[in-house]
Chains A and B, each alone.
Chain A
Amino acid sequence: MNAFIALLLRDMRLATRAGGSAMLAVVFFAAVAALVPLGVGADLKLLGRIAGGVLWIAAVLAALLSLDRIFQSDFEDGSLDLIVLGPLPLEAVAFAKMCAHWLTTGLPLTILSPVLALLFNLPASGYDALIGSLALGTPAISAIGTIGAGLTLTVRRGGLILPLLILPLISPAVIFGAGAILASLDGLSNGAFPLLGAFSFVSVLLSPFAAAAAVRLNLQG
């Protein structure tokens, strides 16, 4: 347990300090969101309607940005080999790194999202669903992203192929997440949250095993 917390804290420190990716993800999130009104026009009614979807897509893109850091930088400087030799099973390593990724991307994005939603004129009835769906759904992005990061570990410039692997797999999170926001805008009964929660839960549960298997095969030979 100590090793787990140590690894988690180490990864979070690396992400938040100079040259880390956490700040980058947050700024990228805001920048993508800011581009949308420039693209679709400044009609506040339209923007309020699409705010949930836009913020969800921006969150996915921002989370993708730092995925190849999960294992790649440790692999390049050799520390991944040491971590693998250490007391922690590789599955727990993958889980710690996944948690660190979420705490430094998914969580700050969720916290920032209401501010951006203000700029998008999201109706008041949508805020709970926006924050709730991002908090519930972004762990799935980190989880599936960790699998992708493991699979592309030894691929040169793996960051290029990673989004192609990940994006189709996380489409259910976007569907349920953005759907939950739309449904609450329309005052419909909201069946999306249990589904989003289930998808997130299953992803988080299975991801450490798949990611560990992926890292293992890349470190062999």
Chain B
Amino acid sequence: MSERGLSWANIFEFANPKRFMDVSGRIIPWLAALTVFLIGAGLFLGFRAPPDYQQGDTVKIMFIHVPAALTAMFAYGAIAFASLLGLVNRHPLADVAAKTAAPLGATFTALALVTGSLWGRPMWGTYWVWDARLTSFLILFFLYLGYIALWNAIEDEVRAAKAAAILALVGVVDVVIVKYSVEWWSTLHQGESIFRAGAIAPVFEAPLFLMMGGYTALFLLLWLIRIRTEILARRARALLRHEG
């Protein structure tokens, strides 16, 4: 086996539910500590950052808004990747991973939408503008809801996993087109984007990156916990079936 084959073999070793439970159980405390540190440091530096010369203190909404948006997209990518693994390799852990990431992704999307509109109020004078980014995130949010609804609608777990995986893969192609089309649409309607071009000042960069890391760590932490919970719940159901 080549090196590549070796790395794939490693992935599947962790995909064994028992091994996964062992490893994830050891990772979780460290990941939790990392999350608290990153978000704590990010918030601290964020609050100490000077007000922006144009946006004033409201620029600090960026620190909770931009990472939420990034995490929301990251979560969708994670779902699509897990769905592909689930469809191709038929591994139940990949199905569980895709299923459990969806409500987290939907929550981060909602968070990005809410913080975005709260940022929009002082900046644009209104809670909502049909800006390209806001609109494509709204559509992403509906995609998440549809994905979750499909999981809930099909009772048989194996069947639900496959159907949801097909939807996720169709969705990942579509989400790129949606993003592009919304940008096209928004330039047709509104002229140039409202966001200022140009680099972000270093004072803002540090807390922003810390918060990005913190949100990602938070997502991974909650994801691991949710996967573990789902595995345990399935085990409990299987045991009940045997006893009953």
Contact = CB atoms under 8 A, between A and B. Distances in A.
Interface of A: 144, 147, 151-152, 154-156, 158, 161, 164-165, 167-169, 171-172, 175-176, 179, 182-183, 188, 191-192, 195, 199, 206, 210, 213-214, 217-218, 220-221
A61 to B, nearest CB: 15
Given A151-B163, A151-B167, A195 B145 contact: no
B154 A176 contact: no
Given A167-B142, A171-B139, A161 B181 contact: no
A161 B151 CA distance: 11
Which interface residue of B170, B173, B180 has the most chain A CB atoms within 10 A? B170
Contacts of B142: 164, 167-168
Nearest to A169: B174
Contacts of B150: 151-152, 155, 161, 165
A183 B188 contact: yes
A155 B154 contact: yes
19 contacts: A154-B159, A161-B149, A165-B150, A165-B167, A168-B146, A168-B178, A169-B171, A171-B182, A175-B181, A176-B181, A191-B184, A199-B181, A206-B173, A210-B166, A210-B169, A213-B166, A218-B159, A221-B158, A221-B159
B178 A171 contact: yes
Contacts of B166: 147, 151, 210, 213-214, 217
B146 A175 contact: no
B185 A179 contact: yes
Contacts of A155: 150, 153-154
A18 B145 CA distance: 36
Given A158-B153, A175-B184, 19 more contacts: A151-B150, A151-B166, A152-B150, A154-B154, A154-B159, A164-B142, A164-B146, A165-B167, A167-B142, A168-B139, A168-B140, A168-B143, A168-B171, A176-B181, A179-B185, A192-B184, A217-B159, A217-B166, A221-B158
Given A152-B150, A175-B182, A175-B185, A169 B170 contact: yes
Contacts of B162: 213, 217
A214 B150 CA distance: 12
A206 B170 CA distance: 9
A208 B171 CA distance: 16
B159 A164 contact: no
B145 to A, nearest CB: 6
Nearest to B153: A155
A168 B11 CA distance: 33
Contacts of A192: 184
Contacts of A169: 143, 170-171, 174
Given A164-B146, A179-B188, A210-B170, A221 B139 contact: no
B156 interface: yes
B163 A218 contact: yes
Contact of A179 (B146, B167, B169, B184): B184
Contacts of B167: 151, 165
A147 B156 contact: no
B180 to A, nearest CB: 8
B181 A165 contact: no
Contact of B153 (A144, A152, A214): A152
Interface string B64-85: 0000000000000000000000
A217 to B, nearest CB: 4
Interface in B151-198: 153-154, 156, 158-159, 162-163, 166-167, 169-171, 173-174, 177-178, 180-182, 184-185, 188
A167 to B, nearest CB: 7
Nearest to B188: A179
A47 to B, nearest CB: 19
Contacts of B146: 161, 164-165, 168
A89 to B, nearest CB: 18
A172 B163 contact: no
Contacts of A172: 174, 177-178, 180-181
A12 B159 CA distance: 30
A218 B182 CA distance: 34
